[in-house]
Structure 1
Amino acid sequence: MGYQSGRNILVAYKEETTYGELPSASGGKVFRPNTGGLNLTKGTIQSNENRRDGMTTRARHGQRNLAGSYSGDLSLGSYDDLIAAVFRGTFDAPLALTGLSLTVDDLARTFTRSSGSWISDGVKVGDIVRFGSFVTAANNNRNLRVTNVTATVLTVAEDDLADVAVAETGITMSRPKKVIQGLTPRSFAFEEYEADIDGSEVALGVRVGSMQIQLQPNGMAVLTFNFAGQNSDVLEGADSPHFTNPVATTSIGLTAVEAVIRLGDEDLVDLTALDITVDLRAAGTEVVARTTTPDVFTNNATVEGNMTALRKDFSRVKNFLAEDVLSLHLLFAENESEPKDFAAFYIGNLTLASASKSELGADGPRTQTIGLNIGKDERGGAFDPTMIKFQTSAV
């Protein structure tokens, strides 16, 4: 009899139609894990019997609890459904505008339209947009980060636009799909198929409890999803694996060195670490007369972040002292020609919770650790009503 290796394991999952019930075998998706796993535990029910023989009665099993995590390299389209789940949101349809009449000011980094409204058309601060059909080709088919929007003027972060003093007509603009936070709960079934011993553990009623985005020097952009679930079962023989031909994405992993990170009005090139965590504090609840929680319950979302940067001036200290409201935009693009496929996270309403410098006397540069206070953006109009949003060019 052979033993199962630690690598020849397929992780697949599918959204449940009914909470806690195994969905059909087709239409599953492969999770591309670095590490992780889901495990079922049970509470212990200990008898309080006072025995005259000086011994203890064997304990019984209590309610089941399923928890665990998987981490994976951020890549195009690989985890969109799980990101939407932790946001409790739904991706909107990509935005496509045609027939625009625009001028471009390369110094002000603005696109000004002759008629209509960017805001009414659905363009928001923190979106990434792409223009097309300019005679001035340098403005076409590029990922442009929107930093400000009024009815007629759209401002972007990129400073290498080509000036268009006389309005050009017939211009197009696209904004790939995005998701903001909402209140729609989703649950999944996860299967770990252990190919060496031809069997599976299937976890049911699994909700995404939290997600962490983590960047380190010379590392991949890593997403870690923490899960809480209702139950688990074993499948063997002809029943395993349950999910037939689950689909795996083939997009390349996105790296920290390729990331473009903008805090406030500055693109940062001096970060040594960054992490952002979206947490729903998901958990089951103990009840009588059954061995599983009726559901896994989520709570108000919190978004927390920390970054470490080289210390070059006192600007972050002044931001901290003044409680300045800033934004944070993380853009990850594939290494290809324009328009580059991308995944991006945007936080529109944050202040610095700390700006603590490293101790003196250490070798190398002095660093500062910056904590982030993050809340819902309630400005309306040109701003999405969310704490964090995710946008991607993945279909």
Structure 2
Amino acid sequence: MASTANGIDSVIVISKQGAEGVKAAAGGGQVYPRVTATFDTEADKYASSEIDASQQQGDTRLGNFRTAGAIKAEAACGTYAPLMAALLRRDFTAGGVAAAQTTIAAAATGLVRSAGSWLADGFRAGSVVRISGLTAPATANNAKNFFVTSVTATNLNGQFMDGSAMVIKAAGDSVGVAAVGKRSFTPLTGHTTDWFTAEVQDPNIGVHRSFVDQLVSKMDIAVQPNGITSLDFTLMGKAEGPTTAVPHFATPAAAAGSGKFSGATAMMSVNGIPSQICTGMSVSLDGQVKVDPVIGSRFATAASRGKVLGSGQFTVLLQDAVYLDYFKNETEIALAYAMASGTAPNADVLALAMGRVKITSAKIDDGEKNKIVTCAFDILRYKGADAQHEATTLSIQDSAL
């Protein structure tokens, strides 16, 4: 019997193109880890409606061909940043940085400065920063992930992600603070358009399929307290190239080796206040990609994007009427979530910040257990004047960049 393809031998390689219609260079590409991944050519089917005396269908035709990809993965730092940036329509760039200075004190709730401004230095609520330069007895504050829950010009409030307390120390040391890695968000102007080539390699049978002009259409993140955080992407594109016996991407870069995330090493804040009652959360971003059919071509030749829509759901233990009132009163809240890849004080982190969330439903379950409130929400572009929130829908920070 001839060899057959096995998913464990398959490799998914994706590379950003230089331009629309130009297949990514053969010397590039990166391997993308997955739980599952499918890339296929699709077409609409049209059946003849003509009356037939034989009482049988006379013909079926296919419309324009297009491609669709679905990657189901486990969230990790570094690996999926190109796809995130494409969906957000902005490259990742450095976050807040405060150069070493002697005017920063360590307080119980965070860092306080008597000169300069955290906001002017680019710090935002929902980000993760690390401190440097503190001396005894506060050296334990250095080089640890600090989840920022709220920011003013003088106060950088939050808590360490490893659960330790901030060691209090007066100003005087030469202290620096920097957001770890880089961040991206959907900007107000200057939106990028990133096209990708994806290749599904099945080396044991010599079948390699390339998909050109792929746009990232959707991203879904789901977090549970007792499981690995999932990260799924949907891609849509215009064409599949000829199947080849040798891969187009012969020497792709290996996938990043960052650890996975779970809810046990994560933190959530609501309106700048840490939440200890969240039992799960999911976030979805939809770029509304459409591939339009045209007359005279078997393959789609035009693809477009709509506005970036954000939505999600979180579940919390029922303790009071706060979340029910948020829903009933249409109160808009700020929501932030940061997850670490381990228990180390400086583990890799992925952080999500949403400055304007509206809860669209709040439903309470029942049973012989703790009652749970399930809150569905929409993520809206922040339009307020509070500079601790970016004027965007969702901001993503990746410490591995």
TM-score (structure 1 length as normaliser): 0.91
The 5 A counterparts of 1:348-363 are 348-359=355-366, 362-363=367-368
Indicate if the aligned counterparts of 1:104 and 1:162 stay in contact, CA closer than 8 A: no
Aligned residue identity for 1:194: D
How much does 1:202 deviate?
A: 1.0
- Deviation track 1:24-77 (CA, whole Å, cap 9, x = no partner) reads 111201111101301101233555677787765543332112113111111121
Matched, 1:373 2:378: yes
Matched, 1:24 2:25: yes
Indicate if the aligned counterparts of 1:40 and 1:67 stay in contact, CA closer than 8 A: yes
Aligned to 2:210: 202
- In the aligned structure 1, how far is the partner of 2:10 from the partner of 2:225? 29
Aligned to 1:186: 194
Indicate if the aligned counterparts of 1:205 and 1:295 stay in contact, CA closer than 8 A: no
Matched, 1:131 2:131: yes
Which SS does the other structure have where 1:86 is aligned? helix
The 5 A counterparts of 1:291-310 are 291-310=298-317
Aligned counterpart in structure 2 of residue 241 of structure 1, from 225, 229, 247: 247
Q: 1:342 to 1:288 in 2, by over 3 A?
A: same
The 5 A counterparts of 1:1-395 are 1-46=2-47, 57-104=58-105, 106-107=107-108, 109-135=109-135, 136-158=138-160, 160-165=165-170, 167-176=171-180, 177-182=182-187, 183-237=191-245, 240-247=246-253, 248-359=255-366, 362-380=367-385, 381-395=387-401
- In the aligned structure 1, how far is the partner of 2:113 from the partner of 2:266? 30
How much does 1:98 deviate?
A: 2.0
Indicate if the aligned counterparts of 1:133 and 1:172 stay in contact, CA closer than 8 A: yes
- In the aligned structure 1, how far is the partner of 2:355 from the partner of 2:16? 30
- In the aligned structure 2, how far is the partner of 1:373 from the partner of 1:24? 39
Which SS does the other structure have where 2:290 is aligned? coil
Aligned residue identity for 1:87: L
- In the aligned structure 2, how far is the partner of 1:284 from the partner of 1:53? 37
TM-score (structure 2 length as normaliser): 0.90
Query: In percent, how many aligned pairs have the same letter?
Result: 23
How much does 1:336 deviate?
A: 5.0
Structure 2, gaps ≥5 residues long: none
Which SS does the other structure have where 1:317 is aligned? helix
Aligned residue identity for 1:382: Q
How much does 1:189 deviate?
A: 0.8
Which SS does the other structure have where 1:119 is aligned? coil
- In the aligned structure 1, how far is the partner of 2:250 from the partner of 2:354? 38
- In the aligned structure 2, how far is the partner of 1:344 from the partner of 1:61? 44
RMSD (CA atoms): 2.2
How much does 1:302 deviate?
A: 0.9
Aligned length: 389
Aligned residue identity for 1:209: S
Aligned residue identity for 1:306: Q
Indicate if the aligned counterparts of 1:103 and 1:164 stay in contact, CA closer than 8 A: no
Indicate if the aligned counterparts of 2:259 and 2:342 stay in contact, CA closer than 8 A: no
Aligned residue identity for 2:248: H
Indicate if the aligned counterparts of 1:64 and 1:293 stay in contact, CA closer than 8 A: yes
Structure 1, gaps ≥5 residues long: none
Q: 1:357 to 1:246 in 2, by over 3 A?
A: same
Which SS does the other structure have where 1:369 is aligned? strand
Indicate if the aligned counterparts of 1:33 and 1:70 stay in contact, CA closer than 8 A: yes
- Deviation track 1:244-300 (CA, whole Å, cap 9, x = no partner) reads 221221222222322222223443344333211001121101111222222321101
